Amino acid sequence: MKRVITYGTFDLLHKGHIRLLKRAKALGDHLTVCVSTDEFNAEKGKKAYTPYEDRKYILQAIKYVDEVIPETNWDQKINDVIENNIDVFVMGDDWKGKFDFLKDYCEVIYLPRTEGISSTKIRQDLGMKTK
């Protein structure tokens, strides 16, 4: 079984998120999504509109997602890859190069973002703070 993992806040769920999850799942047989907790977001100076438990619940209902686990800190990725027997790490290409250190443990793929949509753009359009 080929196992894939991706990370994110997955707040204000939109088409770009679904496309990322669909393309990530297509790279393997099992997709684990690691979702930033509210506490971790606070450490990063971010605040999600939707609480962690609700974001987790929504992601669990998406057909491309097999498992959802919490992201509690920047440094857990190597352990997540090892402990979950991950073969492929996937992120949006706006993170290109930032996770190349994982290439010692698994394949690292940066996927193109969906044009014209992002959680930041939605927040801006609604007049919400982006951080």
Considering 15, 22, 44, 96, which one is annotated as catalytic?
A: 44
Distance CA 99, CA 123 (A): 26
pLDDT of residue 93: 92
pLDDT of residue 124: 67
Distance CA 71, CA 32 (A): 12
Counts of helices then strands in the chain (DSSP H, E): 5, 5
Distance CA 82, CA 59 (A): 23
Distance CA 52, CA 58 (A): 10
Residue 46 falls in the annotated catalytic set: yes
pLDDT of residue 14: 81
Q: What is the pLDDT along the chain (131 residues), one digit of tens a residue?
A: 999 999 999 988 888 899 999 999 999 999 999 999 999 999 999 888 899 999 999 999 999 999 999 999 999 999 999 999 999 999 999 899 999 999 999 999 999 987 766 666 666 666 766 55
SS3 of residue 111 by DSSP: strand
Task: Give the end-to-end CA distance of the chain in Å, rounded to a whole number.
Answer: 38
- Taking 3-state DSSP, the helix, strand and coil percentages for the chain, each rounded to the nearest 5, stand at 40, 20, 40
Q: Give start and end residues of each alpha helix (H) in the chain.
A: 15-25, 38-43, 52-60, 77-83, 119-125
Residue 56 falls in the annotated catalytic set: no
